[in-house]
Each structure stands twice: as C-alpha cells, then as structure tokens.
Structure 1
Amino acid sequence: MGQGISTRPHQALLGILLMTALGAQAHFQELIPSTDILTGETGSRIALALKFTHPMERGPVMPMGMPKRFAVVGPDGEEDLIDQLESEAIDGKEAFHAEYQVRQPGDYIFYVEPAPYWEPAEGVMIVHYTKVVVDAFGAEQGWDRELGLPVEILPLTRPYGLWSGNLFRGIVKQNGEPVAFAEVEVEWRNDGSITPPSDPYITQVVKADANGVFSYAMPHSGWWGFAALLEGDAPMESPAGEPVPVEAGALMWVHVRDMR
C-alpha cells in the first residue's frame, strides 16, 4: 500500500526538505482547458494550456521540458496527444498548449506526465501527474474513471458543474492504493482580483483520512488545483549526477462558478 509523507523515513526526509527550503513555494503543474463543459453552443474544440507555476501568486513560471506523456481518455479509450503539443514562451520560460476536437458525447480526462523538474532549493526532482475532466454534450459519464497513474487523485465529487461553496472530495492513491493521511495542497488560480493577506492564505492544506479521502469547500469561482505530494518509488539523478528524492505529485484541476 502507498504511504503518506509522514509514514516512511524517506518520505519524512522529503517532507523536511520541502518545509525547510528557503523561499520554497507551492509548485503546481497547470493543465487548464478553455472550458470544463462543452455544449452545442460552445462548439466542439477545446484549447488546453500547460504551465508550471505558482497559481495563487501568479508566478513565477518555471520552464517545462517536453512532457513524457500527454493524452486524453474518453468514450473510445485513450488517445495519445503528445504530437498535438506546441511550445510557447511565457515570461521567457517554456510552456505548451494544444487543441482537441471532440467528436462525440462523453467525459474526457486529459492528463500529462511532465518532464522531471529539478528544484535545487528543495533538493528534489518534481514530477506532477496532472489531470482535468471536460464533459461534452451532457453525457456526464466517465468522470470517475481511474487512469492508473503512479500517483492520482480519484474524484468522489463530479468535477464539473460546480458552484462556489460546493465540497470537492477525492481519494489520494499511489500505485493504485489509497494513501492514508496524505497531505493535500490546494490553490486557486488567481486572476489578479485577490491579494492573499499572508502566506498561509496562498496555499490551503488539508489532510486525507485513514482511507485517503479528503474534502475541501471551494469559496470562489475559477480554477482550483488539488495537489497531493508524495515520494516517488525510486530516486532520480540530479543535474550533478547524484541520486535525489522525487516529489511525485497527484494533481487535479476543478472549475467552479458563482451562483447568480
């Protein structure tokens, strides 16, 4: 069974590194679609933006390498989209975007396994397995499908059609097993309208229960990112050629709207 950061020696070391790193900020891999719900009026094309950044603080942007995997799981199974990615520069750092043509009703789960990112301030390689769900034409089927990623958040709340104030629930999994008492970081993708009054307001933190289940009530419209940061199964090499721990992040993005 996968374990939370606080329950294994190596994971405890990773947690200490993350907490004590000078000036460390919450990194979030963004995978943001142009809409979370496609209707006949919104058309059938989805634009997707991929960026590695600090969403609540609106930056800085960290450079991405070409992702290892980028795909969508829909009514017809999995479709590799890596060739659809196009590189772009944001604040002088590499990011990516893509477009996808939806051809039939269903729920489409887009996911990315980014290239590992070396964070010298924390002494870790970072890999955030990130996904987002788009519902097409009212099908509302398939949103709870498990992809089998090394680390993954499995939604217990339908992750679209949500009002601000709704409770989002999910299960943190590693290698297919729930992670007891996993710590989940939560950030809102700031549109510039909110200035956090102090650091604890930037990243919200909740803990899963003994079954890996967590919940969070989203108080504002927009995109919310949920990140369970676990230790990867095996170390990676740093740019200096030394073995270092891996921050394997299970990320999911959810959109909410204000009820008016």
Structure 2
Amino acid sequence: MWKQCCATLALVCCLAVPAQAHFGMVIPSSATVTDKKAADLGLEISFSHPMDMQGMDMAAPRAFTVTANGKTENLTARLAPGSVMGHKAWKAAYRLNRPGVYQFALEPAPYFEPAEDCFIIHYTKTVVAAFGDEEGWDQPLGLKTEIVPLTRPFGNYAGNVFQGQVLLNGKPVPGALVEVECYNRDKAHAAPDAYFVTQTVRADANGVFAYGVPWAGWWGFAALNTAEEKLPHEGQPKDVELGAVLWVEFVAPRGR
C-alpha cells in the first residue's frame, strides 16, 4: 500500500509540473555590428530548454541560410559540429562584408519527442544589422512558418515591448500560442517556480502578439501550430508541431 501511495504521489507531482518548452536556437555573437573588427560573426545553433539551461542533442539541420540585400545564401555546408549545454549542436562562421540587415534562418530535421508523442520542427530566425543599415527587418522570408517582427529586432533595450506577427504558409494565424523564454546563459536568473520558466501569450485575430521583456539578454519567441500532414514513427503516423521561432537581443543601457 505504501509503495502504491508513493507511486501515485510521484505521478501527481509530475503531472503538476508544466511541460518544458522546446526552442530552436540561432544565437549570433552580436546582433548589431558597427565596426569592421567585429565583422566576423560566430553563430551558435542548438535545440534546447534555454531558461533551464538544459540541452538536447540536435541532428544535422536540413537547411541554414542568410538573406540580405535581396539575396539568399545557402550556408548549410558551413555548419560544423559543436556543443551547447553539454549536448550535440552546430556552429557556423559568417563575415559581414557590407552594410545590410542579415536574416539567418534554420530548418532543422524533425525531432520526435516521446513525452508529447509528436514530431517537432522549429523554423528559427535571428536578425543581425550591420554598418548602419536597418532596411528590411520586417520582411518575411517565406518559411513554412515564421514570426515577422513588428518591432525592430535589434537595438532594443531591456524593458521594451516586442511585437511580432505569426505566419503559417504565408498567412496570419489568429490566436496563435506564443511561448517566450530567456537564454539564461550565465544562470543569472532563477524562476520562482515551474510556471515562471516559460511565459505564454496569445496572438490576436491578426496573428499579432506583444511581450514586455523584463531583463537584458537573448529572448526567444516560439509560435506553435500543428501541421496538416503527419510523419511516420515506428509505423504509426504522428502529429507534427511546427514552431516559428525568433531570437532577439535586449540590452541594458550603459550608465554614465
């Protein structure tokens, strides 16, 4: 009887804890570049739980691109194995040779999550502005799903309100669920309890959401939808979670 009670209590405790959010991550060494000495970007690519700093092994991405000045360049061949949070990840280097707004976009291989009994595919973006140019940051890339920023996605202070629009197949998603987490890289922040780890907002009827960023750092916005098609796993068709993920840096102002 005692063992049964313990087992039941453990199950209740597990069910009482909110599920961890997954985030595709593309984190550049800088979100703004104004000096040619900083023109060589490093990009860290992973699939992780950023607030809890828990990594997951990431398979080789299907595609990695950069779009700037009206052109898209395939960077997939530049990806090299790396490690993030102690797990298999990827890295890339890219030199900014001219002024522009550079949109980096990742399409990962589908990841099967046993706890949710579904596949996860997070189309992930981040934006880097270089040498004074800031044109085109609100241009969609035509991904399967993506967040189009309505607030400039660079040069933002901590405390700013960020807005974005969720698109799926190029169309706004009314009422889209958007999960928000900080990349707690230095483990400087501790959540009061599990409910605080992932912040959650709903988009409006036009797929537009807003979030006030409480502290400095890299913040990820993940809009989640279910694909119409399914993928097979061990002979059974499984749902596919499509995530539109955007990473934006928010910076604390410098003191006098």
Q: TM-score, length-normalised on structure 1? A: 0.88
Which residue of the other structure, out of 228, 232, 237, is the alignment partner of 1:237? 232
Question: What residue is the counterpart of 1:211 in the other structure?
Answer: 206
Which residue of the other structure, out of 214, 217, 223, is the alignment partner of 1:222? 217
The whole-number CA distance in structure 1 between the counterparts of 2:141 and 2:42 is 21
Q: Is the 8 A contact 1:184 1:227 kept in 2?
A: yes
Question: What residue is the counterpart of 1:200 in the other structure?
Answer: 195
- Give the 4+ runs in structure 1 shifted more than 6 A: 20-23
Q: Deviations over 1:202-255 (max 9, x none)?
A: 0000000011100001110000000001011310112x1211000000000000
Q: Is the 8 A contact 2:177 2:203 kept in 1?
A: yes
Root-mean-square deviation (Å): 1.5
Is 1:145 the counterpart of 2:139? The answer is yes
Q: Is the 8 A contact 2:225 2:242 kept in 1?
A: yes
Which residue of the other structure, out of 32, 55, 65, is the alignment partner of 1:37? 32
Q: TM-score, length-normalised on structure 2? A: 0.90
Please show how residues 40-189 of structure 1 align to structure 2 within 5 Å. 40=35, 42-59=37-54, 61-90=55-84, 93-189=87-183
Task: Mark the runs of 5 or more structure 1 residues left unpaired by the alignment.
Answer: 1-19
Please give the secondary structure, in 1, of the residue aligned with 2:229.
coil
The whole-number CA distance in structure 2 between the counterparts of 1:74 and 1:46 is 15
The amino acid of 2:112's aligned partner reads: W
Please give the secondary structure, in 2, of the residue aligned with 1:83.
helix
Please give the secondary structure, in 2, of the residue aligned with 1:245.
strand
Question: What residue is the counterpart of 1:14 in the other structure?
Answer: none
Q: Is the 8 A contact 2:18 2:194 kept in 1?
A: no
Aligned residue pairs: how many? 239
The amino acid of 1:226's aligned partner reads: F
The whole-number CA distance in structure 2 between the counterparts of 1:178 and 1:211 is 6
User: Considering only CA atoms, is the larger Rg found in Structure 1 or Structure 2?
Assistant: 2
